[in-house]
């Protein structure tokens, strides 16, 4: 798999493509050009990093249609639009759909240079966030419903005795679940575990509520809310977690 960022160019204008190839060479980035929107879509691989420089009136599906296709499949590839003639409404629509920049031809090379650098940086940040999200999701997916319940009560600052009473278990059982939470969530102390739980609650109270939902077979239905969860060093980052794998109650 190609991991080096690539500037994907979908533009029938050969002069524009050559200009962007020159910028890519200076930035030490790969560059691939496509004369039609369909050619780009046929070759598109969502796992390849970089950015897309796109002529809004490209043949084979206009730029806005290609943008919508990428948005619909959850692609994170940032887009820089180019056009020789476009209305303000087109530009506004493209930006609202997530375009990084909208440049008119003839463009200043400095402006395109800056737009491409920004787009590549945005792509790197998005991919890091998704990797972090998957990392946290793996941790949370390993928790049982009882462990989630203890995590919620920790976020409510309940004592061990109060948790035991509410869950109708012994204090020793609560201590066991707490130890399991520390191991699975990779926190090295009770204080760190508490900070983890409080961060989730303060960022999205629905997170823990949704996490406790189970189906008739006792399988977790998933986490649908957004939360800000700390990494190992407790640096918070926004993420949105998807369905969790089934887990057994303990």
Instruction: Encode 164-175: b = buried (16+ Cβ within 10 Å), e = exposed.
Output: beebebeeebbe
* Helix axis angle, 190-203 to 171-184, nearest 10°: 80
Burial class (CB in 10 A: 0-12, 13-18, 19+), 187: buried
Is the sign of the CA dihedral 126, 127, 129, 130 positive or negative? Answer: positive
Instruction: Encode 8-40: b = buried (16+ Cβ within 10 Å), e = exposed.
Output: bbbbbbeebbebbeebbeeeebbbbbbbbbebb
Report DSSP state, residue 248.
-
Domains and CATH numbers, the chain: 6-129 (3.40.50.2300), 142-240 (1.10.10.10)
Residues 13/20, Cβ–Cβ less than 8 Å: no
Measure the CA angle with vertex 232, ends 188 and 151; round to 5°. Answer: 65
Please give the model's pTM, rounded to 2 decimal places. Answer: 0.63
Residue 230 or 130, more confident: 130
Half-sphere exposure at residue 80, Cβ-oriented, CA atoms within 13 angstroms: 26
Encoding tokens for residue 136?
Answer: 């946290």
Residue 62 has pLDDT above 50, yes or no: yes
**pLDDT for 180-196, tens place per residue?**
999 988 888 989 888 88
**pLDDT for 160-185, tens place per residue?**
999 999 999 999 999 999 999 999 88
For the chain, percent of residues with pLDDT exceeding 90: 45
């Amino acid at each position: 798999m190609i991991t080096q960022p690539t500037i994907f160019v979908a533009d029938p204008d050969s002069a524009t493509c050559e200009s962007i190839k020159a910028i890519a060479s200076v930035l030490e980035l790969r560059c691939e050009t496509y004369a039609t929107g369909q050619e780009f879509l046929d070759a598109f691989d969502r796992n390849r990093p970089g950015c897309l420089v796109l002529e809004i009136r490209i043949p084979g599906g206009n730029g806005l249609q290609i943008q919508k296709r990428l948005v619909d499949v959850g692609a994170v590839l940032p887009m820089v639009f180019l056009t020789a003639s476009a209305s303000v409404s087109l530009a506004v629509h493209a930006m609202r759909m997530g375009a990084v920049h909208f440049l008119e031809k003839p463009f200043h090379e400095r402006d395109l240079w800056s737009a491409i650098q920004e787009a590549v940086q945005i792509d790197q940040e998005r991919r890091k966030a998704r990797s972090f999200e998957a990392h946290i999701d793996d941790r949370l997916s390993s928790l049982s419903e009882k462990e989630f319940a203890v995590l919620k009560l920790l976020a409510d600052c309940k004592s061990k005795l109060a948790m035991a009473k509410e869950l109708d278990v012994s204090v020793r059982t609560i201590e066991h679940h707490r130890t399991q939470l520390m191991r699975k969530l990779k926190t090295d102390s009770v204080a760190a575990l508490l900070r983890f739980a409080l961060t989730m609650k303060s960022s999205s109270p629905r997170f823990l509520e949704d996490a406790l939902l189970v189906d008739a077979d006792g399988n977790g239905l998933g986490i649908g809310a957004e939360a800000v969860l700390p990494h190992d060093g407790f640096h918070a980052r926004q993420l949105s977690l998807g369905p969790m794998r089934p887990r057994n109650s303990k």
